[in-house]
Amino acid sequence: MEETDYKIIDLVVRGEKRTKVLELYVDRLEGVNIDELASLSRRLEEKIEETLFAGEMSKIVISSPGAERAFKYIWQLDKHVGRILEIVLNDETKTEGRLLEVDDDSGTVKIAVAPEGKKKADPVEIELKFDNIKEAKVKISFSKK
């Protein structure tokens, strides 16, 4: 991974004994390119098989995190400015809003949310510390604009 700008987002081991599967989720600021991901997969598979999990894994899957996975790092949000996020705060408060700005240096994100109980009112901008966010995902919408 040192020779690429991809970062490991999550590592999951599933299955038992001879049917273990290693799922490795990677991401980068510019997004995931399928050809680069295939190349990375081949290189990592060789290294992983000869070191860490030699003989223990029946399969290794390397993938992008996908839309259903929550963001783990603030830098992952940079490429989603303008999109609607579903957010759960550490105190379990839920909110939804359009991502306006990400400040990696201060660790904050700015979102526009509809005022409580007023769906048609102008959105209100709020700033959240990424450390106070338990989970943030892009809201998937299939509606036509």
Give SS3 for 36: helix
Q: What pLDDT digit, counting tens, does each position of 5-59 carry?
A: 888 899 888 888 778 888 889 998 888 888 888 888 888 777 766 765 666 767 7
The whole-model pTM stands at 0.76
Q: Where is the domain boundary, 63, 91, 107? A: 63
Average pLDDT over residues 80-106: 96
Asked if residue 124 and residue 84 are part of one domain, the reply reads yes
Asked if residue 84 and residue 51 are part of one domain, the reply reads no
Q: What pLDDT digit, counting tens, does each position of 67-82 carry?
A: 788 999 999 999 999 9
- CATH number, domain with residue 132: 2.30.30.100
Residue 144 lies in a domain: no
Strands, DSSP E only, in 4-142? 7-14, 21-27, 59-63, 84-89, 94-103, 108-113, 124-129, 133-138
Query: What pLDDT, on a 0 to 100 scale, did the predictor assign at position 68?
Result: 81
Domain count for the chain, please give it. Answer: 2
Where in the sequence is the domain holding 21, given as residue range(s)? 7-63
Asked if residue 88 and residue 58 are part of one domain, the reply reads no
